[in-house]
Structure 1
Amino acid sequence: MRLLGEVVPFISGIDTPEIGSHAKSLKERKLALIAKGRLRELLAEKGLRVMFSGAVDKTQTHRPLVNIYRTNGEEVGKKLLREGFARAWSPRQRNDWCD
């Protein structure tokens, strides 16, 4: 993902558990490692297309939000949602991964 620029982009529309000190519980950390592993598998596929969604996040660095498509046209973010590795992201709602 660093090939896209100085800052690491985020997949548009999804929220995943936090790793490290940002995690609120051990459960969230474990879920984050599992989700990261699944994303790594998906990103290892040949022929992925990365497209800027036109939006940036609200952090100081304004990280770009991207959509990543597999060769069959499937969006990686939607696949992570369906498989339970991510949840829909909303600026007004925080996902609790600890419950």
Structure 2
Amino acid sequence: MRLLGKGIPFVSGVDTPAIGSNAKCMKERKLALIAKGRLKELLAEKGLRVVLGGAVDKTPKHRPLVNIYRANGEEIGKKLLREGFALTWSPKQRNIWCD
């Protein structure tokens, strides 16, 4: 599953740092672990609503693109953006996690 955020599939959405061997540097790897922990906290909340975007990402895994909403209606992708755990994604954006 990949967070879509308020974006349009393959045009915009939410980007988080890559984890493991997909990370371009140690800084990105560390940021990814922190972001993953925060997402895990948010996903443990009661009353979440998952809305399928109707598309899948272009990776070999073809993960479904989704929006996830908290019980209060707040979109989790927006929350991660505000808290600095994610960036707005676009296809031509370069990796800034290692800057």
TM-score by length of 1: 0.87
CA-atom RMSD, angstroms? 1.0
Tell whether 2:86 aligns with 1:94: no
> Unaligned regions of 5+ residues in structure 2, if any?
5-12
Tell whether 2:25 aligns with 1:11: no
> Unaligned regions of 5+ residues in structure 1, if any?
1-8
TM-score by length of 2: 0.87
Distance in 2, matches of 1:65 and 1:34, equals: 22
Distance in 2, matches of 1:57 and 1:63, equals: 5
Deviation at 1:59, TM superposition (A): 1.5
Tell whether 2:77 aligns with 1:77: yes
Q: Relative CO higher for 1 or 2, CA cutoff 8 Å, sep ≥ 6?
A: 2
- Matched residue pairs, number? 91
Identity %: 77
Equivalent AA in structure 2 for residue 93 of structure 1:
Q
